[in-house]
């Protein structure tokens, strides 16, 4: 019933890293071959935590530059920033009224980000998952490539879609949309790098906000920095195993093998077939080579694009115009269905 359509987003909140690339952006690029895709710089999500306006503005361009540098083609797909398409916020309000307090209360990301001082978290941070549901469903997108950390938010998106379809079943049918207006969107959490871990601590995910710069490889890092960070990455004293089972209780080794696999479009088993028995000093040297080969051209292209902000703004403006047409169709229908 629903045409296959891919949507995903990245927040412009600093330090785009290898986890964002392997878990999300690299997969966005691949999806373009088989699907119509909409990729969004989710700037309204960013301000759920205060952002310096000038820095936010720069980061919006930087994430866009990363999309383009990685190989997303804005002439064939849609690349834009969320705040330029007001239907996201409009639909989010409807979804705030569909979702239940209990659903939002269960979100582990809110608990992590709000920390102990929950009384002092923004209402927007609490409402974040309903805006995310709106981002996706305002295009009635069917597939969302994301990292593992977004699984729970995608479940909430499906719950919101289902409850809207149920609560307004009669009106949806009367307006000619059959028995469901919104699709039950599927998360695409696949490949060896759905959860890239910190290089300093195998129990924490690689994240933009980790205070240790050595915990992550940033997309803007130069070759020497990448090499240093990989050489300093935490490991254990054993050589690499030759089977993936041997990685189970070795999170740091498992993470480096997963990163190698994802960077070379291989599986961990393939990496261990070639490197099983190797010491980390040797394996890390190979990992530096593949990481630099893959990431340096992207960093270079990002620098080139960032030198011409006018071009990036044009891409975002054109993408937003295309997105607005689609979002307005959905929002017009939602208003009819709800009775506005």
Q: Give me the residues that bind ligand ADP (CB under 6 A), please.
A: 10-11, 19-20, 23-24, 146-147, 149-150, 193-196, 205-208
- Tell whether 206 is in a known binding site: yes
Q: Given the residues 26, 205, 234, 294, select the one marked as catalytic.
A: 205
Q: Smallest distance, Å, CB 12 to ligand ADP? A: 8
Q: For this structure, is 234 an active site residue?
A: no
Q: Of Na ion, ligand ADP, none, which one does residue 146 interact with (CB within 5 to 8 Å by kind)?
A: ligand ADP
Applying the rule CB under 5 A, the residues between 119 and 158 that interact with Na ion are 149
In terms of CB distance, is 42 or 271 closer to ligand ADP?
42
CB of 135 to ligand ADP, least distance (A): 12
**3-state secondary structure string, the chain?**
CCCCEEEEEECCCCCCEHHHHHHHHHHHHHHCCCCEEEEEECHHHHCCCCCCHHHHHHHHHHHHHHHHHHCCCCCCCEEEEHHHCCHHHHHHHHHHHHCCHHHHHCCHHHHHHHCCCHHHCCHHHHHHHHHHHHHHHCCCCCEEECCHHHHHHHHHHHHHHHHHHHHCHHHHHHCCCCCCCCCCCEEECCCCCCCCECCCCCCCECCCCCCCHHHCCECCCCHHHHHHHHHCCCCCCCCCCCCHHHHCCCHHHHHHHHHHHHHCCCCHHHHHHHHCCCCHHHHHHHHHHHHHHHHHHHHHHHHHHHCCHHHHHHHHHHHHHHHHHHHHHHHHHHHHHHCC
Q: Does the annotation place 12 within a ligand binding site?
A: yes
The nearer residue to ligand ADP, 147 or 241, going by C-beta atoms, is 147
* 129 contact, one of ligand ADP, Na ion, none, CB 5-8 Å limit per kind: none
* Residue 175: CB minimum distance to ligand ADP, A: 33
First to last CA, the chain: 26
Q: Is 148 annotated as a binding residue?
A: yes
20 interface partner picked from Na ion, ligand ADP, none, CB below 5 to 8 A per type:
ligand ADP
- CA dist 297 and 232 (Å) reads 23
Catalytic residue among 3, 26, 204, 208: 208
**Radius of gyration for the alpha carbons in the chain, expressed in angstroms and rounded:** 21
Return the number of the residue (256 or 337) whose C-beta is nearest ligand ADP.
256
Tell me whether residue 65 or residue 94 sits nearer to ligand ADP (CB atom): 65
Catalytic, 208? Answer: yes
Count of residues touching Na ion (by CB under 5 A): 1
199 binds, among Na ion, ligand ADP, none (CB under 5 to 8 A by kind): none
Smallest distance, Å, CB 24 to Na ion?
9
Is there a catalytic annotation at residue 113?
yes
Per partner kind, with CB cut-offs from 5 to 8 A, the member of Na ion, ligand ADP, none near residue 78 is none
Shortest reach from residue 211's CB to ligand ADP, in Å: 14
- Residues annotated in a binding site for L-tryptophan: 135
Please give the annotated binding residues, written as ranges: 11-13, 19-20, 135, 147-149, 196, 205-209
For the annotated catalytic residues, the residue numbers are 113, 205, 208
């Amino acid at each position: 019933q629903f045409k296959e359509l891919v949507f995903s987003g990245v927040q412009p909140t600093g330090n785009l890293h290898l986890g964002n690339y392997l878990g999300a952006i690299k997969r966005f690029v691949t999806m373009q071959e088989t699907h119509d895709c909409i990729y969004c710089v989710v700037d309204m999500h960013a301000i759920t935590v205060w952002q310096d306006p000038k820095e936010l503005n720069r980061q919006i361009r930087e994430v866009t530059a990363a999309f383009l540098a990685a190989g997303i083609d804005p002439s064939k797909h849609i690349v834009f920033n969320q705040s330029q398409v007001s239907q996201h916020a409009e639909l989010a309000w409807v979804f705030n009224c569909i979702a239940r307090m209990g659903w939002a209360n269960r979100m582990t990301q809110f608990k992590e980000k709000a920390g102990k001082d929950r009384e002092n978290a923004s209402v927007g941070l609490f409402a974040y998952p309903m805006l995310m549901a709106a981002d996706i469903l305002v295009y009635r997108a069917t597939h969302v490539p994301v990292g593992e950390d977004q699984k729970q938010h995608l479940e909430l998106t499906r719950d919101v879609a289902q409850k809207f379809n149920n609560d307004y079943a009669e009106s949806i049918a009367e307006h000619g949309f059959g028995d469901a207006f919104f699709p039950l969107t599927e998360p695409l959490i696949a490949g060896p790098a759905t959860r890239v871990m910190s290089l300093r601590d195998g129990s924490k995910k690689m994240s933009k906000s980790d205070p240790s710069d050595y915990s992550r490889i940033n997309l803007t890092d130069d070759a020497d920095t990448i090499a240093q960070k990989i050489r300093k990455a935490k490991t254990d004293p054993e050589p690499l195993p030759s089977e993936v089972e041997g990685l189970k209780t070795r999170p740091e080794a498992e993470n480096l093998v997963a990163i190698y696999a994802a960077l070379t479009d291989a599986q961990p088993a393939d990496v261990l077939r070639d490197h099983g028995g190797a010491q980390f000093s040797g394996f890390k040297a190979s990992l530096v080579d593949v990481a630099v080969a893959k990431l340096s051209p992207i960093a270079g292209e990002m620098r080139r694009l960032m030198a011409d902000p006018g071009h990036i703004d044009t891409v975002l403006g054109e993408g937003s115009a295309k997105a607005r047409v689609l979002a307005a169709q959905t929002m017009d229908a939602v208003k009819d269905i709800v009775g506005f």
